[in-house]
Amino acid sequence: MADIVAPQQYKKARDSRKQLAFAVSSVVALGLCAAIFVASNQEDGDAISNILNPAMRTALAQVALARTSKLVLGAGQEDADMKAIQTAWATFQDSENASVIKELAGWNITAEESNVAAAVADMKALGLETKAEDKMIKKFHKSD
């Protein structure tokens, strides 16, 4: 009876070693496939940078920089806005078009200036509120 049980134990051990070897080889094969996939996609065949020449890349970079720099407000931005307003005014001040004349007549400079002043005051108040909240949050988060 012992002879009948012993061969089955050896068979189970052999089968478990085969399963382990198969699992290890499967993981290695999967890793190789992933490495080959990554290596094959390194050429960037579909990238827009392969189509553009260096001058076009530089132009696109400058356009992106110009877009981000317009978001920054300051004395330079105010000067640029003022020049744009003066150019628009010079372009349309002598117009004979009825709709342009109506728009120009309806545009009250003093009212616009007071609206801008009110908006600036609101922004300053919001900034002060934000600073006060920041101080309170820092105070609450201090360890005792």
**Local confidence pLDDT in tens for the 144 residues of the chain:** 455 555 566 677 777 888 888 999 999 999 888 888 877 766 555 555 555 667 766 777 776 666 555 555 666 677 777 888 888 778 777 888 888 888 877 777 788 888 888 988 888 888 888 888 888 888 888 776
What contacts 50, CB < 8 A, 6 or more positions away?
44
pLDDT at 36: 83
Structure tokens at 128: 């002060």
Does pTM top 0.75 for this prediction?
A: no
pLDDT at 130: 86
DSSP of 28-76 = HHHHHHHHHHHHHTTT-TT-GGGTS-HHHHHHHHHHHHHHHHTT--SHH
pLDDT at 8: 62
